[in-house]
Amino acid sequence: MLEVQDLSVRYGENQVVCGASFTVQSGEWLMITGPNGAGKSSMLSALMQGVPYTGGIRFEGENLQSMKPRRRALCMGLLAQRYASGYAFTVEEIVRLGRYAYHDALSGFDAADENAVAQALHETGTYELRSHPVSRISGGELQRAFLAQLFAQNPKLLLLDEPSSHLDLAYQKQILTLISGWLRQGGRAVISVMHDLAVARRFGTRVMLLHRGHIEADGAPEQALSPSLLSRVYGMDVEAWMQGLYGVWSD
């Protein structure tokens, strides 16, 4: 589905992603993890064409750089870590934006759009909130509203930038379960930046470990998150730390 070749991102003198190459196949949930400053979010921004980069990114054989934005939106969409619009759009208005790519400048909303929006609102449990301004709902509800926008947009590849990092456990579970369900529908893939190694291991079908802009490991979660690799990348005994954190719950 996605083919990335020798991807590099540079901010001035600082190279944050250094020649990364990888592919993503349909059905995969690729978790990109690593310490702060490893280049995870920059890699995601480059995939979304949000920052200048060198190298090649192809979606189903088509160069993303030369792809029209509307066409790109049918291929991939982004769920950001946090949204803070200063304006009080309603949940429904946010979700309707997901259908932007389905229209040219002159065509309006049709029945298919209305159905897609209603279905996305129902799937994410935000239908009852549809008239609420986004400034007056909780962080978890807001994240579900933007997930509903992505469901209405219905791209083949979801890019998630730490989608659950600031949510409580109940909302984390809701969001991750919704994404798992979406992925199971076939012909789709997910790439997420994820700091939480436990979540990366539990939900990812594949994990990419980044360190100082380089791919340190890319493979099955248990291999890419091996204690020796993690200790080297994070500069600490990650296994002992994780057992200390989570071991108490198994007693």
Query: Residue numbers of the site for other proteins (CB under 8 A)?
Result: 48-52, 68-74, 77-78, 80, 83-90, 92-94, 96-98, 100-101, 105, 109, 114, 117-118, 130, 133, 146, 149-150, 153
| Minimum CB distance to other proteins smaller for 78 or for 210 | 78
Nearest residue (CB) to other proteins, 78 versus 230: 78
Cβ proximity to other proteins: between 96 and 211 the closer is 96
Report helix, strand or coil for 89.
coil
CB of 128 to other proteins, least distance (A): 13
* Cα–Cα distance, 44 to 40 (Å, whole number): 6
| Closest to 181 (Cα-Cα) out of 123, 140, 126, 129 | 123
Partners of residue 63 on adjacent β-strands? 58
- Pick the closer one to other proteins by CB: 56 or 133: 133
Contact residues for 141 (Cβ-Cβ < 8 A; gap 6+):
91, 126, 129
Give CA–CA dist 8/56, Å, rounded: 9
Nearer to other proteins, 11 or 246 (CB): 11
Minimum CB separation of residue 65 from other proteins in Å reads 13
Q: How far is the CB of 99 from other proteins (least distance, A)?
A: 8
Q: What is the full DSSP assignment across 164-200?
A: TTTS-HHHHHHHHHHHHHHHTTSS-EEEEE---HHHH
Instruction: Tell me how far, at minimum, the Cβ of 74 lies from other proteins, in Å.
Output: 8
Shortest distance, position 88 Cβ to other proteins, whole Å: 5
Q: Exposure of 97 by Cβ count < 10 A (0-12 exposed, 13-18 middle, 19+ buried)?
A: middle
Q: How far is the CB of 110 from other proteins (least distance, A)?
A: 12
The kind and range of the H/E element at 158 are strand 157-161
Q: Residue 43: helix, strand or coil by DSSP?
A: helix
Q: Which is nearer to other proteins, 155 or 221 (CB)?
A: 155
